[in-house]
Amino acid sequence: MDTVYLVTGLTCQHCVNAVTSELSEVTGIESVHVDLVAGGESRVTVTGPQTPDFAAVQAAIAEASDDYTVTEA
């Protein structure tokens, strides 16, 4: 099952790597794909058996950087 989030604040591949790394540690997330829109809303798709807990996703994104914000698409 795919779940899509919109993340603002990502500007480069380093940002993508940080978000991917942190989200990969969230229980139930099997894979992460980021469509980078530098300075805009990047589309982040996570795949797993069910929709992950949004609070866990928010915490993972915040762990990557306090400059990122996430909303459900």
Number of C-alpha atoms within 13 angstroms, CB side, residue 11?
5
- Residue 30: the pLDDT is 98
- Read off the pLDDT band of 59 (50, 70, 90): very high
pLDDT at position 2, please? 97
Determine if the pTM surpasses 0.85. yes
pLDDT digit string (tens) for 3-54? 999 999 999 999 999 999 999 999 999 999 999 999 899 999 999 999 999 9
Sequence-distant (≥ 6) Cβ neighbours of residue 73 within 8 angstroms:
4, 5, 6, 43
Q: Decide: 39 and 11 in contact? Cβ < 8 Å.
A: yes
Sorted by where each starts, the structural domains of the chain and their CATH numbers stand as 2-72 (3.30.70.100)
Give me 50's structure tokens: 């069910």
- Spell out the alpha helix ranges (H) of the chain: 13-24, 54-64
* pLDDT for 36: 98
